[in-house]
Every structure is written in structure tokens, then in C-alpha cells.
Structure 1
Amino acid sequence: MLKRSLAVTAVAASALLLVPAAAANAAPAQQLKLRGGLTLYVPIKWKVYGGGTDYVHVVTGKCAHPGGGFFTPDCKGFWIFGPKAIKSGAEGFGPYNAQRGGYYPASDVQRCPADGRLLRGERIGRHVKGLRQVGPGHKAHYHEFTTRCRTHSGKSTRSRFTTREWYLPATKVLVVDEWKTPGLTDTLRNADWR
């Protein structure tokens, strides 16, 4: 009986010792409240710019001009758009198409996000489409595709970037990430709806 009691006590003590270590490794988070009760928990080191419900820029790394617009190159992060931005989110300023994907509120060729000296080119490779979880009980239309950048004279380069988009039609929230931001998929999956 004494051996069993000591074994149970030892297991309980080791569990208590593991909890603070795990908690110490968890990154502190800030709440980012969005449309329709959607709340994201983003790392404190990520900086949030913009406001309201239509244009929110979350900078996750190096960025010379965090207050710049969507096509500002060399600015690691992602965007969260609402109805106003979605209404003119297709090439030529038409409405964003959740079936096709590709948020592009412009009618001309924009700069490459990874290298501002280059231009966006054509999509290459596989286009991944489907539904992805965003918090409990909510599914987003998901798109992932790679775009090759080109020179101003039209020559293809090795520079490329991958776009990921999550669109929630009921709340009209669109998340656009052109940097494959580490942790963003988990952030969206672990969102709350309040």
C-alpha cells in the first residue's frame, strides 16, 4: 500500500513540475477582435495596424512600411479584410471570388512581395482548394497557390511567393497571407467566436 501511495505521489509531483515548464514556453498572446465575434489570439510580438473591420494588417516580421497598403513589398505579415475590401478584391476591382481565390484589388501589375524590384507574374504549380477550420464550428474557403515573380521586361525569375487565403462568407472576413506565416494556420484554427 505504501509503495502504491508513493508511486501515485511521485506521478502527481512530476505532472506538477511539467505544467509550469510548459506554461513558461507558451508565447504570450494578444486578442484581436474581428467581425461577427471572431477573436484571434496572436503573439504579442506580432504588431496590428489599421482598424475597423475592413483593413487590418498584422506584421509578423521585418517591415519597412507597416502602414503601407496591401501591395507594399518586403513586409512580412498578413491582412484581414472585411466587406468593403472584399467588394473590390478581384482583379479590375470586381468582388472577391471565393471559388477562384486570388485577392487582387488592382487592374495593373503590382510589385512582388518578396522583392519589390520585381513584378508579380503568373501562378505556377498546384492550386490547393478546400475548407479549413477557423475556430469551433466555422469553416473557411481556403486557397493556396504559388506565384512566380518576373522582371519589368517580363522575364521569369526564381523569386516566388505562396499565397494562402481563408474566406468566411457568413461574416465576410478574408485573411490573406503571402508569406506562409508560421503559426497562422494554428492561430486561425484556435480562434474563438464570442
Structure 2
Amino acid sequence: MGKRSSILAALAAATALAAPAPSAWASPASASNATAFSFRGMNLKLPSGWKVHRDGDRIVVATGKCATPAPFAPDCRGFWIFGPKAFTKVPVGGGSFTYTGKQQFYPFSGLTTCPFSSKTAWSPGEKAASTGLRAVGRGHRATHTAWPTTCVTHNGGRHTASFTQREWFLPTSKILVVDVWSTRQLPSVLKNATWSRPPSPRDIGTRDRPGAR
């Protein structure tokens, strides 16, 4: 097993206890049906029908059928938004893991099933297909990375499906957006975001700052 695979395996085991119980999430009946959604100063205008389910720093935006609103649930079409409590200082063995964008975001759950079927397992990508900067409203740029990913059988690792995991990471605002369903309207929704406060001087860097197209 390679170094990266060992890290991912340890991460899955270490975070199993931290995975939120389904009851912690807003149910579909009580989820927001409004088109406006705000998180850590970022304001998004969502298409009608999209529903927001939130549990602290973990958010599921369901864009279609979603029986279990939790990140990477195999029966929930949508995308995910994470704050720093969900991707920093995650316990792994005797240390911790913090997402930086250099490796593919891995589901913080002990049950790492493929997002399309609970009968197959998640196999993270080793190398990004593309990376670059994307505007997330005026004054902020996210590092956008596309990771080729596969679904494999639990026994034997036979390849069953492929998909691209898209990630938008705002390191200063401490927001991570993850999409495995190729949500067509998501890039436009993020590009048209507004912000409740102007960028701080720390935003004026290579990422999370004005000027991206």
C-alpha cells in the first residue's frame, strides 16, 4: 500500500467516529427551500428546487432526489460545502490532517461508498486532471481542481464507474465546495456569489482575491 493510500485509509478510520448521525441533518421537510443561502460571508442565489441541509460546518445542497442528506451519501444528488471544522485538524493516528487542495478531498466518513451506489467503494484520484483559479463572486478566487475518480467493487477492486470530483477551495475564507455529480449550474452559481464583507488585506494573494475570470 502506497503512502497516499495509507493516509487515506487512516483518515477513513479516524473520522468514522466524527461522522454526523443522519438525525443531525435538517430533514427534507424542514430544509430551506429559499433561493438565497449564506455561509461564512458567502451569499449564493440557488435555483428553485435546490434544498439546503446543514449540520454545523457540513452542508449538503440537494439539487435532485436526496433520501439521506449527508456528504457523499449514495442516494443524494447534490454538492457539498464545508467550513474549517470539517476539513482542518482532522485526527489521523497520532497526528492530524488538514485539507490544502494538494490532494483530493476524501469523504469524512467511515463508510466510503461510491456516491452512486452503496455496493461499490470510493477510489480517490492520484493525480488531478486540471487545476486553476475561478471567480467566486467579486473579490474572491478559488483554487479549482478536477480529480478523475473511480468506483470499484468491495471485493477485488473491479472498476465499475468513473466520475470527476470538482473542488473549489477558498483558503482565506476557509470554504471548500465539492461536487461529484457534475452539477451543470454550480460554476455559474459560484461565479455570481456576493459577499457580506469586503476582502481583507489577507485576501490579496494568489488565491481568494479579485481578478479571476
TM bucket, shorter chain: 0.7 to 0.9
Q: CA RMSD in A?
A: 2.5
1:57, distance to aligned residue in structure 2 (A):
0.8
Matched, 1:34 2:39: yes
Structure-2 residue corresponding to 1:48: 52
The separation in 2 between residues aligned to 1:124 and 1:148, in whole angstroms, is: 11
For residues 182 and 132 of structure 1, the distance between their equivalents in structure 2, rounded to whole angstroms, comes to: 15
Aligned partner of 2:190 among 170, 188, 191: 188
Name which one, 1 or 2, has greater alpha-carbon Rg. Answer: 1
Alignment of 1:18-167 (within 5 A): 30-35=35-40, 37-52=41-56, 54-66=57-69, 69-88=70-89, 94-106=97-109, 110-123=112-125, 127-167=129-169
How far apart are the structure 2 equivalents of 1:133 and 1:149?
30
Please say if residues 104 and 124 of structure 2, whose CA atoms lie closer than 8 Å, have aligned partners that are also in contact. no
Corresponding position of 2:9? none
Contact conserved, 2:144 with 2:167, CA < 8 A, in 1?
A: yes
Contact kept? 2:153, 2:160, Cα under 8 Å: no
Q: Structure 2 stretches of 5 or more lacking a match?
A: 1-32, 197-213
Q: Is residue 188 of structure 2 the alignment partner of residue 179 of structure 1?
A: no
Is the CA contact (8 Å cut-off) linking 1:121 and 1:156 kept in structure 2?
no
Which structure has the highest helix share of the two? 1
Contact kept in structure 2, 1:148 and 1:156, CA below 8 Å: no
Could you list the runs of 4 or more consecutive aligned residues of structure 1 that deviate by over 3 angstroms after TM superposition?
A: 88-93
Question: What's the offset of the Cα at 1:123?
Answer: 2.2
Please give the alpha-carbon distance, in whole angstroms, between the structure 1 residues aligned to 2:64 and 2:111: 25
TM-score calculated relative to the size of structure 1: 0.74
Distance 1:167 1:72, change over 3 A: same
Write the distance in 1 (CA, Å) between the matches of 2:139 and 2:178: 21
Q: For residue 134 of structure 1, what is the amino acid of its counterpart?
A: V
Q: Secondary structure at the match of 1:117?
A: strand
* Cα distance in 1 between the residues matched to 2:156 and 2:181: 23
Percent of aligned positions that are identical:
41
Deviation at 1:142, TM superposition (A): 1.1
**Structure 1's 125 and 74: CA in aligned 2 closer, same or farther, altered over 3 A?**
farther
Partner of 1:9: none
Number of the residue aligned with 1:19: none
One-letter identity of the residue aligned with 2:180: E
